[in-house]
Amino acid sequence: MKKYIVFYIVWCLCCLHLFAQGTVSHTTMPCTLLKGITEREYTVYLPPSYGQDTVRTYPVLYLLHGGGCSNTDWEQYGGLSHLSDSLIACGRIEEMIVVCPEANKDNMIWFNAPHWRYEDFFFSEFMPYIERAYRVKPGKAYCSVAGFSMGGGASVVYGVLHPDKFNVVYGMSSYLRSQPLEFLKNDPSAPWRQKLVDDYNPIHTIAEGTESDVTAWRTVRWFIDCGDKDFTYDANIDLIAAFRKRAIPYELRIKGGGHDWNYWRPALCNALIYVSDNIGK
């Protein structure tokens, strides 16, 4: 009950704007690694002190969107900036930069395909660009990734494949393996994307990992958050079983709810707090 009271108070403060405000920009960056693309969209939240303290560096959270969605959705539907501002104002989280990349436009996937190497873009071009363009505090201890649905699955996969990059991986309603989805029925590109999801299935990767892999995965703080009525529930429970079998520490939250913004808005509040509580650890 206490956590819901805290969320309600924070949300009321958001509505009243009784605090210093950060800034949100919907902007673009140069792009060379995605075929046929010269600019790529992203959204960035900069905390309230960013413009005043021109020397300070900040932790960064990469916040990934779901299938068929956009880099703007965390702000438009999740209230990212108001929520972050209020949590900072009441001292509940540290100031951080939050970056929302775009992985729906042109091809809806976070992974590498022969004709669309998004994972390469993310790690070889996007993250380095963000680290140059903004005052990002360097090092794994200050970098986290989170997301919902397709973006939640990608967050888990990115943590599994690149455990040296992320301190916290926070997956919300994570889409971890292919499932029949109504909105993909008439999409001619759906089969290859669904195959990629299965090729990147982190449950299998963890089960088959070496002891060296397991040692690296234990350096990540894993948080799995899913609604009890969510169609991804079974896959997320299987992910937890894989963690348990390999003795990889994790946190799990199962709350009432489905696969929608009514679940992800409060989950975002929890994600920001969890990331902040573990900064530098």
* Token reading at 4: 């819901």
H runs (alpha helix) in the chain: 2-16, 73-76, 80-89, 118-121, 127-133, 150-161, 190-199, 202-208, 211-217, 233-245, 261-277
Q: Is there a contact between 64 and 154 (Cβ–Cβ < 8 Å)?
A: yes
Specify the pLDDT at position 27.
98
CA distance 81 to 25: 10
pLDDT at 272: 98
Which pLDDT score, from 0 to 100, does residue 15 have?
Answer: 52
In the prediction, which pLDDT does 180 show? 87
Give the whole-angstrom CA distance, residue 97 versus residue 135: 9
Q: What are phi and psi of 82, to 5 degrees?
A: -65, -40
**pLDDT for the residue 2:** 54
Is the pTM here over 0.75, yes or no?
A: yes
pLDDT beneath 70, residues of the chain: 1-18
Q: Are strands 143-148 and 60-64 parallel, antiparallel or unpaired?
A: parallel
User: HSE of 117 in the Cβ direction (CA atoms, 13 Å)?
Assistant: 10
In the block, residue with structure tokens 């896959």:
235
Residue 118 is part of a domain; what is its CATH number?
3.40.50.1820
DSSP letter (8 states) at residue 122? I
201 Cβ contact list (under 8 Å, min separation 6): 176, 177
Residue among 260, 271, 272 at smallest CA distance from 77: 260
pLDDT value at residue 6: 56
Closest to 63 (Cα-Cα) out of 221, 223, 194, 170: 170
**% helix / strand / coil in the chain, to the nearest 5?**
40, 20, 40
Residue 70, pLDDT score: 98
Q: What is the pLDDT of residue 223?
A: 98
Report how far apart the first and last C-alpha atoms of the chain are (Å, whole number). Answer: 28
Give residue 154's pLDDT: 98
User: What residues contact 149, with CB distance under 8 A and at least 6 apart?
Assistant: 66, 67, 69, 172, 173, 174, 175, 232, 259
Contact 152, 142 (CB under 8 A): no
Domain span including residue 257:
2-277
Domain count, the chain: 1
List pLDDT tens digits, range 200-213: 999 999 999 999 99
